[in-house]
Structure 1
Amino acid sequence: MNEKKRVVHLTTVHHPHDPRIYHKECKSLKKAGFDVYLIAKETETGIDRESGIKHIPIKDYKSRWERMTKGAWTLYKQAKKLKADVYHFHDPELLPVAWLLKNRRNHVIYDIHEDYITSMLQKEYLPKPLRKFAAKAYKKMEQFFTKKMERILAEKYYKDIYPDGECVLNYPMVNTAFIKHQRKGKIEDKLIYTGNVTDVRGAFLHAKLPLIDEKITMNYIGKCSTEFADEIYHIAGSQSDRIQINGVNQYIPKEEIEQAYLKHNWLAGVAIFPETEHYMKKELTKFFEYMNAGIPIICSNFPVWKHFINQYRCGITVDPHNDQEIKDALDYLRNHPDAAKQMGENGKKAVQEQLNWRAEEEKLIAIYQRLGNK
């Protein structure tokens, strides 16, 4: 039955190699027997043909407005030609496109990666009344466009906002290279952060780490604008030579990030974020990635994060604005290598046994099979 089911994933925002969209969802659906297409922006390397997933490239507009208009219209025309059984889209700006694609003969899935409503309330460049208006307007628009759509949620707490949504959590795929890899020898005075580099994701707090601890080298691996990179170096000041940024104005593929985890005997993976309602409730994807690689975590002591770290005994939580507390955490891992190694092993075990994509893959396939039986 599945052999004839055509699935089209849609995004104008995400890279075609996005871990959740391509490596997890598209590959899992292809393995389950679906005919899988991915309409996403063009890229130099394209998608591996051996995967069997068909990539339809669309122009990568640098202007957000052009992406939301010209890019969305191009995507719509390409998607409509395919006459899919299921359209699965990943960007809120594609809500009108997905609404136009919906008909009585197909299903449309809205894959909610972020809490966009809370995120809008935190846009500091907008006056507070305008933020509230934008959040309310978006919520009304979303409700209108998604009345006849299915919702998949990438995070547990999104159920509070979308009680009818189904969670397919963004847990990592178990990496065999990580299973074999053992932390041996002296722990290096190196910290790693992976993912997009922004202020709300702790970029500027992480830039202070070489000033807090004179031995530390801070390594960012993820897309970072030139402006952010300059600001990070400025904050580090006299210690800017101990800042390494891999990803200035470029996307870093999943495979390259995984190689980076194995490259050094990292002291810790960091996620020292400032307080924002958007992130305080989330279990960060990077937690699972650090754990997958057997690296201890140092992160902010938000209640949800503290509970998570304590539950899996995989790191240390700190007040993001208390330099001494951060220094004490770094010293503890440095001076107690056996304890640091055990934290890494605890995290790795939790991912291998519980917090991995296998169970989420089953949920995804079950959703698709249920839709196919409707």
Structure 2
Amino acid sequence: MKKVTMFVWNHFTNDARVNRECTTLAERGYEVDLIAIDDPKNPVISAYEEISKSFRVHRVKRYPWMLQAYQDHGKKFLLVVAGVQVAIIPSLFFISFTLMAAYFMSLVLAAGMIKIKKMRKWFINGAIITRMIVKGYIQNADIYHANDLNTLPQAIVCSKLRLKPKPLIYDSHEVQSDRTGYNKERIKRIESFMLKFVDQMIVENHTRASYNEEIYGFYPKTLYNYSEKYDIHTKPKINLHHKIGINEDEKILLYQGGLQQGRGLELLIKAMDDIEEGHLLFIGGGKLTQELKNLSKNSSEAHRIHFLDKVPFQELPSYTREAYLGFQVLQNICFNHYSASSNKLFEYMMAHVPVISCDFPEIKKVVNETKTGLVVDPHNAADIARAVNKLVKDEALRNSLSENTKHAKEIYNWNNEKAKLIDIYDEFAPLTSKAILLNIN
């Protein structure tokens, strides 16, 4: 069997896209090893996980031993280290002043890495990258696959710094050169340089592929972020109303996903002042979690706003199906948002939940063509409230949109999209018919 090594810069607990890609390749007949990051705060996940006989996850340690000891023991660790140094440094003075000075400087650097946030981040990320490279290199895979720019250096080293270089696929889930919180020009220079080592690039949709052609001069492959196809009625039922403490007849207005900047989440809370019926529920976590909770507490509709922690992607459909409608109201704060065709839209569709969506090209096209929701101005809380009120007052309209999702999901699903991924892989490392048949059987 041909071997694939993938890299992803997360814990691989909620990455549905990467899971779909790895599972597809494993089912095709490839041996897939995914290298992710361990989470010492999460006892549920392990350093090694076997998803199937052909799909394994390797999680490298997040913290160097010194930082991990500091995380675990805090001041006690520092006191022990200080005590040891009282004995070591005077001894080194009698051996060599230069040696003592060098040792002392290394201690200062170590202290900086522990106490100075920016230095600590660089040190931690450097350790993660090094461990990923070591783990990936010894895999000696037939194909290497980097998910997003922050794993591309690791994949370049593992695939190209060899006597016989291996094919490298760069799967960019985001528009790296135009995202919030990133220096556009610097990222563009970095990505442009690294693309010289890439054999094939994948982006999420044709809007992003056209943008890529404008700035880099070539049109990459597209792989839409469609949800896995399933029958929502086969998913386990949960009593979501009970979980958030509301009556069974109340309507749940759902946002699921990361609580991050530029997703219109503050406006959803503001819109609740004008939304006449229903309870707003956020399922997920992120940098805005506490800020959103504070906003909701200060809202006159605080009793109708609820939060649940993120749910593993395998369990999420059971929560989604309980919603009356779902929100996908990204804001146009960068091209990455404007060009998105995010998985959330198709997760709602697969669970037969109508959507209130932003009016950006990729998302608007799907919603309008399939008649599975209402399109709004995502920067206007009043427009969002108007659309919600239209659906909560007109259950016949809502049910019609829900019925349309049953037809739309026959088109917009991973079963129809995954052949494109298989074609890309088979181009670089074609499997024998025997290997494919053995895996199927």
Alpha-carbon separation, structure 2, partners of 1:187 and 1:59: 46
Conserved? CA contact 1:187–1:334, under 8 Å: no
Structure 2: stretches of 5+ with no match in the other structure: 64-70, 72-119, 238-247, 432-441
Alpha-carbon separation, structure 1, partners of 2:61 and 2:331: 35
TM-score computed with the length of structure 1 as normaliser? 0.85
Aligned position for 2:407? 349
Identity of aligned residues (%): 26
What is the deviation of 1:312?
Answer: 0.9
Q: 1:29-77 deviations in whole A, cap 9, x for unaligned?
A: 1111111111111252347635222221112359643443110111000
Aligned position for 1:299? 357
Conserved? CA contact 2:11–2:36, under 8 Å: yes
Q: Which segment is superposed worse, 166-175 or 148-157?
A: 148-157
Give the counterpart letter for 1:45 in structure 2. I
Give the counterpart letter for 1:256 in structure 2. E
Conserved? CA contact 1:89–1:109, under 8 Å: yes
1:116 aligns with 2:176: yes
Alpha-carbon separation, structure 1, partners of 2:295 and 2:129: 38
Q: 2:34 aligns with which of 28, 38, 46?
A: 38
Give the counterpart letter for 2:157 in structure 1. L
Q: Helix, strand or coil for the counterpart of 1:117? A: coil
Aligned position for 1:49? 50
Conserved? CA contact 1:68–1:93, under 8 Å: no
Give the counterpart letter for 1:280 in structure 2. Y
Q: Which segment is superposed worse, 320-329 or 200-209?
A: 320-329
Aligned position for 1:97? 154
Aligned position for 1:126? none
Alpha-carbon separation, structure 2, partners of 1:158 and 1:274: 17
Q: 2:197 aligns with which of 126, 137, 148?
A: 148
Alpha-carbon separation, structure 2, partners of 1:221 and 1:305: 21
Q: 1:87-124 deviations in whole A, cap 9, x for unaligned?
A: 111131223222212233411111100001111xx43x
Q: 1:207 to 1:268 in 2, by over 3 A?
A: same
Alpha-carbon separation, structure 2, partners of 1:303 and 1:86: 34
Alignment of 1:276-355 (within 5 A): 276=333, 277-351=335-409, 353-355=410-412
RMSD of aligned C-alpha atoms?
A: 2.6
TM-score computed with the length of structure 2 as normaliser? 0.73
1:224 aligns with 2:286: yes
What is the deviation of 1:321?
Answer: 4.0
Give the counterpart letter for 2:191 in structure 1. E
Q: 1:307 to 1:187 in 2, by over 3 A?
A: farther
Aligned position for 1:85? 142
Q: Which segment is superposed worse, 98-107 or 342-351?
A: 98-107
1:139 aligns with 2:194: no
Q: Helix, strand or coil for the counterpart of 1:49? A: strand
Q: Helix, strand or coil for the counterpart of 1:215? A: coil
Conserved? CA contact 1:202–1:272, under 8 Å: yes
Q: Which segment is superposed worse, 141-150 or 11-20?
A: 11-20
What is the deviation of 1:181?
Answer: 10
Q: 2:225 aligns with which of 167, 170, 186?
A: 170
Conserved? CA contact 1:89–1:110, under 8 Å: yes
Q: Helix, strand or coil for the counterpart of 1:211? A: coil
Alpha-carbon separation, structure 1, partners of 2:27 and 2:394: 44
Alignment length, in residue pairs? 348
1:365 aligns with 2:422: yes
Aligned position for 2:8? 11
Q: 1:12 to 1:272 in 2, by over 3 A?
A: closer
1:260 aligns with 2:315: no
Alignment of 1:191-206 (within 5 A): 191-206=253-268
What is the deviation of 1:301?
Answer: 2.9
Conserved? CA contact 2:271–2:382, under 8 Å: no
Give the counterpart letter for 2:251 in structure 1. D
Conserved? CA contact 1:95–1:146, under 8 Å: no
Give the counterpart letter for 1:59 in structure 2. K
What is the deviation of 1:14?
Answer: 5.2
What is the deviation of 1:179?
Answer: 7.2
Conserved? CA contact 2:277–2:389, under 8 Å: no
Alpha-carbon separation, structure 1, partners of 2:36 and 2:235: 34
Conserved? CA contact 1:178–1:292, under 8 Å: no
Q: 1:165 to 1:178 in 2, by over 3 A?
A: farther
Alpha-carbon separation, structure 1, partners of 2:253 and 2:121: 33
Give the counterpart letter for 2:292 in structure 1. I
Alpha-carbon separation, structure 2, partners of 1:252 and 1:271: 18
What is the deviation of 1:198?
Answer: 1.1
Alpha-carbon separation, structure 2, partners of 1:345 and 1:187: 20
Q: 1:230 to 1:12 in 2, by over 3 A?
A: closer
Alpha-carbon separation, structure 1, partners of 2:206 and 2:233: 26
